[in-house]
Amino acid sequence: MTPTQPRTSPSRGEFVTLRDHFESRLQAIEKAIDVANASMQTRLAGMNEFRDTLKDQAGRFVTRDELYTKSEAIERRLAVLEHSKATLEGKASQSQVNLAMLFSVIGILLGILGLIAKFLP
């Protein structure tokens, strides 16, 4: 046998040179690396998409400062409305004032008539 001829393994039935063996192993490793690389690229693309989704979502959230500013403005407007309502509830309406004035004038007139009727024979 010459060194260039392939040898056969007693268990496999054929011999493979050490170079062929390493080349086939290297090709298998390179193929496994390519498969793993493709899988990793797919995974990273999914992660980037998820990260972009979270970034978009976070951009639409209101910050604490914005919320505090808005709530302060709403509270001020609400206080003005509550004060206005209390002022309106404390005041009598014009028709109520006119009605009370009418009754008081009628009462005064009746009182004067009663006094006059008492002193006249």
Q: Give the number of residues written for the chain.
A: 121
70 Cβ neighbours under 8 A, 6+ residues apart: 62
List the Cα angle 109/113/118 in 5-degree steps.
150
How is residue 119 written in tokens?
């002193």
d(CA 94, CA 19): 111
pLDDT tens, per residue, the chain with 121 residues:
455 554 444 455 578 888 999 999 999 999 999 999 999 999 999 999 999 999 999 888 888 999 999 999 999 999 999 998 888 777 767 778 888 999 999 999 999 998 888 888 6
pTM above 0.75, yes or no: no
Domain-wise residue ranges, the chain: 1-61
Q: Are 6 and 17 in contact (CB under 8 A)?
A: yes
Per-residue model confidence (pLDDT) at position 80: 94
Per-residue model confidence (pLDDT) at position 1: 44
Per-residue model confidence (pLDDT) at position 43: 94
